[in-house]
Amino acid sequence: MSNQTPCITVNETTKTFSLTSPGVSYIFHADPSGELIHDHFGPPITSHLPPDIGGPDGGWGSYLTRVPRELPDSGRGDFRLPAIRIRKRTGNTVLRLEYVSYEIIPGKPKLPGLPATFGEESDVSTLVIHLTDPVSLISVYVSYSIFPRYDAIARSLRIVNNGDEEVVVEQAASFCVDMPSGEWEMLQLSGDWAREARVVKRPVVLGTQGFQSLTGYSSHLHNPFLVLTSPRTTETHGQTYGFSLIYSGSHSFQVEKGSVGLTRVLAGMHPDHLSWPLSPKGGEFTTPECVAVFSAEGLGGMSRKYHSLYRGHLCKSRWVDRPRPALINNWEATYFDMNQQNLALIAKRGSELGVGLFVMDDGWFGVKHPRLSDNAGLGDWVVNPERFPDGLGDFVTRVTGFEVKKLDNKEDNTEDKTTTKMKFGIWVEPEMVNPASELFETHPEWVLQAEGYPLTEARNQLVLDLSQSAVQDYIIDKLTDILNSADISYVKWDNNRGMHELPSPSVPHAYMLGLYRVLGTLTTRFPEVLWEGCASGGGRFDPGLYHYWAQSWTSDNTDAIDRLFIQFGTSLVYPPSSMGAHVSAVPNHQTGRTTPLEFRAHVALMGGSFGFELDLNKLPEEEQAQIPRLVALSEKVNPLVITGDLYRLERPDESNWPTAMFVSPDKAKSSAVVLAYRMQSIINWHSPPVRLQGLDPEATYELEEEGQEAVEYTGRTLMNAGLRLALKGDYQSRVIFLRRK
């Protein structure tokens, strides 16, 4: 071994590269022809690998068809899906990438223009492999950054055209790995508007299977996240490989079980929305990064690694580890029927019941084209004078003058003397424009359009072309003006349609780079603002935006039962601290279902941003009286959701008794909270014991629950025997706190 860091070793003789942490090894080598051959990805390896004697004896295809490859290029007889395809002037896409050299970099370099994981030298080390095609002189630099504390490897490609003719990058998968022959299952988070992040599991069969987004965004349809597991993997057992793409645009995840049994995983930008020209003599392209995490302890172990990695080394927001204020949003209370009077009444009642933040949703703007419904106003970010005759600044001053009356959470019941004032949040949808707007009248050339084709409207709106720097600057200026005009602490940034009529296939990626520039500028300029992403709910709940914004509206579906599925699904990869979750009115506006207030609130506690989305004045009085207690409960649970370790004791797609548990991240496991639900009543049937996880088996824990006597059990008893929760009837729930004695 000539070159060593704690996690990256290189054997110069065999040209073997190994990235290793306590929980994972990732190993590959360059063969004598310069081909990068994949050797191992999984539990840690402590010596050199036994020789591979399991390969097929001959067969019809060439050598490349039969070997596990690290960066399968195209056109040389590997008939599986390629990871990289580049079109030359002549039209051919043949590429022969041969190993040239490597470099080890302490820490992790930034990816130009793209959100990515980050860390100090003590957190992460990077191996860069340089490959080149001797014919076209195209070079590829494959970066592998290992975060040993999370058994995570982030990979991206930098492609450089050193030739003297333009080439076009048509495909460049950020991650590609050929897993060994054997049985595999794959899992994805799929759905649609108001039905996001359903866990979909299937066996991997011969041939290709996968999912994609071609919406221009990461989408409700399929989240940019794939899990490959050994068969029968559960929340606690089984080899689990996650692949999470840090990107907010169209994507493609493909799994191909090839004819000789190897299983290839490809994750990256969607090739149909790429086509990136590289100028001769130095044109470059960098792919987004994909983060692979390995867990030998099933899905739960994988999720906790993603949560800690993403909270600590992806999200740049100051809010990432701060408890979030309980909020009240007016959308489901008023929809577009809003003005300064009715909003003030909603905000006022919220403040009286202990809610600390009022969020003014859609409908507040537009002068010539007032936003009275979804058919006008987007783009014109000026307050509507009829609805707000006193102006935005005056309205914000009024709301931020409301005193927030709180129930005290303090243990000793002493009175909390600090009075807080309500904070103000605002809704915007800056990437969009209605044809009925002054912006569109002035700048019709700013929308996505393909010459000659009619513009397709969705929700009566068009998409601004954020690949244009004038559009980026307009959005930056407008948001800066709004945030400077009043005391605004929170922004909900919405985005309510997909991209159509693309001028060229490279525009969606140029748009993303433009969007990331806008978000980088605004979040740096206003670092104290709590930014929340939204795209008709969870249509852009992705790691790319999590880099800038610590939370996202999880779904437009606020029904508590549906939310259990959506929230548990989303938590597979995203920290629950990043989920917005609100209590809304019943019958629920999306599903028509009526569930008790207590259950709705307990479900919303699982999200880092707890809130209400209804007119509290319209709740029956006895329910209004419950709000201060529920807000106080949320403030007690919230710190554990923000920084704790999540254990999904049961998932709603597998059990009628979904249960989430958050354990404090300290070594002593000193506190925890259990959120236990029963979705439906089942007659004449025992509820299964709720076996806790993540506690110190030797410690004694005091359990505390509203209306119950405190009891003590050891961690071992709680984890081995479990709690017996007598939940009766439909829509029942319990919230139990644990404190180490």
Q: Which residues are catalytic?
A: 494, 556
Q: How far from chain centre, in Å, is Cα 195?
A: 16
CB of 556 vs ligand DGJ, minimal distance in Å: 5
d(CA 269, CA 281): 25
Q: Which residue is nearest to ligand DGJ (CB)?
A: 362
Q: Which region holds residue 346: left if phi is over 0, alpha if psi is between -120 and 50, else beta?
A: alpha
Tokens 């300029």 belong to 525
What residues make contact with ligand DGJ under the rule CB under 6 A? 331, 361-362, 427, 494, 496, 534, 536-537, 553, 556
CB of 494 vs ligand DGJ, minimal distance in Å: 5
CB of 546 vs ligand DGJ, minimal distance in Å: 17
Nearer to ligand DGJ, 242 or 580 (CB): 580
Phi, psi values for residue 528, rounded to 5°: -85, -15
The answer to whether the CB of 239 falls within 8 A of the CB of 296 is yes
Nearer to ligand DGJ, 78 or 556 (CB): 556
Nearer to ligand DGJ, 331 or 568 (CB): 331
Query: Would strands 423-428 and 490-493 be described as parallel, antiparallel, or unpaired?
Result: parallel
Residues 665, 669, 670: CA angle, nearest 5 degrees: 110
Please name the residues in contact with 515: beta carbons below 8 A apart, sequence gap of 6 or more.
248, 431, 466
Residues 554, 555, 560: CA angle, nearest 5 degrees: 100
Nearer to ligand DGJ, 553 or 713 (CB): 553
CB of 329 vs ligand DGJ, minimal distance in Å: 7
CB of 580 vs ligand DGJ, minimal distance in Å: 9
Query: Would strands 423-428 and 357-360 be described as parallel, antiparallel, or unpaired?
Result: parallel
Which tokens in the block code for residue 735? 């919230």
Instruction: Give the residue from 691, 700, 702 showing the smallest Cα distance to 300.
Output: 691
CB of 84 vs ligand DGJ, minimal distance in Å: 37
Nearer to ligand DGJ, 600 or 651 (CB): 600
Which tokens in the block code for residue 27? 């190993």
Handedness of CA 452, 453, 458, 459 (dihedral sign): positive
Facing residues of 28 across strands? 17, 38
Nearer to ligand DGJ, 406 or 563 (CB): 563
d(CA 528, CA 509): 29
Amino acid at 515: L
Nearer to ligand DGJ, 363 or 644 (CB): 363
d(CA 278, CA 415): 66
Nearer to ligand DGJ, 10 or 463 (CB): 463
Phi, psi values for residue 100, rounded to 5°: -115, -55
CB of 360 vs ligand DGJ, minimal distance in Å: 10
CB of 38 vs ligand DGJ, minimal distance in Å: 41
Cis peptide before 587 (omega within 30 of 0): yes
Instruction: Give the single-character DSSP code of 215.
Output: S
d(CA 392, CA 629): 32
Nearer to ligand DGJ, 555 or 671 (CB): 555
* 3-class SS of residue 428: strand
CB of 646 vs ligand DGJ, minimal distance in Å: 24
Nearer to ligand DGJ, 377 or 514 (CB): 377
Which tokens in the block code for residue 370? 């007032």
Q: Which region holds residue 45: left if phi is over 0, alpha if psi is between -120 and 50, else beta?
A: beta
d(CA 436, CA 458): 13
Instruction: Give the residue from 257, 293, 233, 260 showing the smallest Cα distance to 54.
Output: 260
Residues 696, 702, 704: CA angle, nearest 5 degrees: 125
CB of 395 vs ligand DGJ, minimal distance in Å: 18
CB of 553 vs ligand DGJ, minimal distance in Å: 6
Calculate Rg over the CA atoms of the chain.
Answer: 27
Nearer to ligand DGJ, 213 or 496 (CB): 496
Q: How far from chain centre, in Å, is Cα 476?
A: 24
